[in-house]
């Protein structure tokens, strides 16, 4: 049962120093961001001056930092001759393609492809080929995928091997299925994002553009710093992670990444992974007494690559275009500003990446309609045609016919509709005994075709 309070008691609560101060702060913040948008928020609140200096000092640490940019994952879709490259006939089948490339059958594939093959270059397993679709609705006939082995990506042989395989197997590039670009040497990013997530709504001096989800993981309680951040969802088309790569390679045994660091000046000296492995356990978050390298990594799925106008595989052969990709896809995603205005587009940028060291090329993006939406739209159009013949929808229902015209134009299905219409009429007019009504529907469908072709 709620306790009743008098009017005097209620007014006393409202007039309490804590309540008044909180209301004043809230009102001042609202007035400042709405009535005085051109002023600097940090000058209104003295504690924020110190926080702003902290962020600027972190950014200053990154100036002159030695960094290395590398592809950490590369999966590519190709078209090829399904019949010429026949499915495996036995479990231990091996095919000698030329004097350097052998393709060896490895298993019965996955959910999308029937066959898995290992591609050997001079006897070394450098890539995995997935061939022969299980369902043409998801992967078309004549499409295959190659996942290039991680150790190849860190070597100087990646592109000579890539083009040799493409030529030997007579593959035709279709699209990148997945691309991960990693940057090592940006250790200050971890400190910066830790400072960002420690802010409160009242003392915020740095803001992130866009609306990606920020997920902090693995707290090092000794330093009270998170050791891992994920920006975006794991299943989304784009995601950024920041994590301790030194700890990761001890767990995965990728000693060749240590060699890569030494070669590129990221680490001065390293200990053998076997030695480091003995010093860690399931609770380890940081390698004490060792030079820990934190990695920034951006993961792009195929649709994000398709969005880039005029993209071709040679873009990935050059560190300048790799950094151009990073810059373009960081925009309004992993993109921070000094929060001085309620409209973040008017706030000065926090320059976290040394883009000035590279020949950054402008990249234009174009929206690609998701395949799932395209497939569902085609099903919907066909269903509406059938419903018209069944009289479940009527020709004078302008909402339905208007939506059909809109969908056909929006997804650029004019040719598809024109090609399919005779087949549908042939199929569905048999289910409607009223021939006069059938002629009305056929005329309507032809009118829809005429409207979409205008």
Q: What is the pLDDT of residues 54-86, one digit of tens each?
A: 898 888 888 878 899 999 999 999 999 877 777
Cβ contacts of residue 210 below 8 Å, gap of 6+? Answer: 332, 333, 335
Measured distance CA(331)–CA(298) in Å, rounded? 12
| Residue 416 three-state SS | helix
**pLDDT at 163 (0 to 100):** 97
Handedness of CA 55, 60, 66, 69 (dihedral sign): positive
No. of helices (H) and no. of strands (E), the chain: 15, 13
Question: With bands split at pLDDT 50, 70 and 90, how would you rate the model's confidence at 21?
Answer: very low
260-275 average pLDDT score: 85
**pLDDT at 32 (0 to 100):** 40
How far is residue 208 from each of residues 41, 336, 339, measured CA to CA in Å? 16, 4, 9
Which tens digits make up the pLDDT trace of 26-38?
444 444 444 444 4
Asked if the model's pLDDT at residue 227 lies above 90, the reply is no
Which tens digits make up the pLDDT trace of 423-442?
999 989 888 899 999 999 99
Among the residue ranges 106-115, 198-207, 263-272, 275-284, the one predicted with the least confidence is 275-284
404-416 average pLDDT score: 87
More confident residue, 401 or 40: 401
Sequential DSSP letters for 41-81:
GGGG-HHHHHHHHHHHHHHHHHTT---EEEEEEEEEEEE--
- Residue percentage of the chain with pLDDT more than 70: 86
Which tens digits make up the pLDDT trace of 152-167?
999 999 999 999 999 9
Question: With bands split at pLDDT 50, 70 and 90, how would you rate the model's confidence at 403?
Answer: confident
Question: With bands split at pLDDT 50, 70 and 90, how would you rate the model's confidence at 345?
Answer: confident
Q: In terms of pTM, does the model score above 0.75?
A: no
Question: With bands split at pLDDT 50, 70 and 90, how would you rate the model's confidence at 149?
Answer: very high
């Amino acid at each position: 049962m709620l306790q009743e309070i008098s009017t005097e008691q209620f007014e006393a609560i409202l007039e309490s120093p804590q309540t008044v101060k909180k209301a004043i702060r809230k009102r001042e913040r609202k007035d400042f961001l709405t009535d005085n948008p051109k002023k600097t928020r940090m000058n209104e609140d003295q504690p924020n001056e110190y926080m702003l200096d902290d962020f600027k000092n972190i950014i200053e640490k990154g100036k002159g930092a030695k960094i290395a940019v590398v592809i950490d994952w590369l999966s590519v879709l190709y078209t090829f001759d399904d019949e010429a490259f026949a499915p495996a006939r036995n479990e231990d089948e091996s095919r000698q393609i030329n004097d350097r490339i052998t393709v060896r059958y490895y298993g019965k594939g996955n959910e999308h492809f029937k066959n898995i093959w290992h591609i050997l270059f001079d006897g070394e397993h450098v890539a995995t080929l997935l061939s022969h679709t299980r369902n043409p609705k998801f992967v078309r006939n004549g499409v295959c995928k190659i996942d290039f082995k991680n150790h190849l990506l860190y070597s100087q042989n990646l592109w000579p091997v890539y083009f040799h395989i493409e030529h030997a197997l007579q593959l035709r590039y279709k699209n990148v299925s997945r691309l991960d670009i990693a940057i090592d040497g940006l250790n200050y990013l971890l400190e910066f994002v830790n400072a960002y997530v420690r802010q409160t709504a009242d003392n915020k001096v740095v803001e992130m553009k866009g609306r990606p989800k920020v997920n902090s993981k693995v707290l090092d309680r000794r330093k009270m710093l998170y050791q891992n951040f994920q920006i975006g969802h794991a299943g989304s088309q784009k995601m950024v992670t920041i994590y301790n790569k030194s700890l990761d390679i001890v767990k995965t045994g990728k000693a060749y990444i240590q060699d890569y660091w030494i070669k590129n000046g990221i680490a001065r000296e390293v200990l053998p992974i076997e030695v480091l492995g003995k010093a860690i356990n399931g609770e380890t978050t940081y390698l004490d007494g060792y030079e820990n390298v934190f990695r920034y990594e951006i993961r792009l799925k195929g649709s994000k690559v398709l969005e880039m106008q005029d993209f071709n595989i040679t873009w990935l052969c050059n560190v300048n275009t790799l950094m151009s990709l990073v810059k373009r896809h960081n925009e309004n995603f992993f993109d921070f500003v000094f929060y001085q205005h309620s409209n973040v587009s008017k706030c000065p940028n926090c320059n976290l990446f040394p883009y000035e060291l590279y020949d950054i090329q402008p990249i234009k993006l174009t929206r690609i309609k998701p395949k799932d939406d395209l497939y569902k739209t085609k099903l919907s159009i066909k269903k509406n045609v059938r419903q018209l013949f069944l009289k479940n929808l009527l020709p004078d229902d302008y909402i339905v016919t208007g939506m059909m015209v809109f969908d056909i134009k929006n997804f650029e299905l004019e040719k598809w509709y024109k090609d399919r219409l005779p087949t549908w009429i042939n199929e569905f007019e048999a289910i409607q005994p009223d021939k006069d009504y059938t002629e009305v529907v056929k005329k309507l469908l032809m009118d829809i075709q005429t409207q979409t072709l205008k």
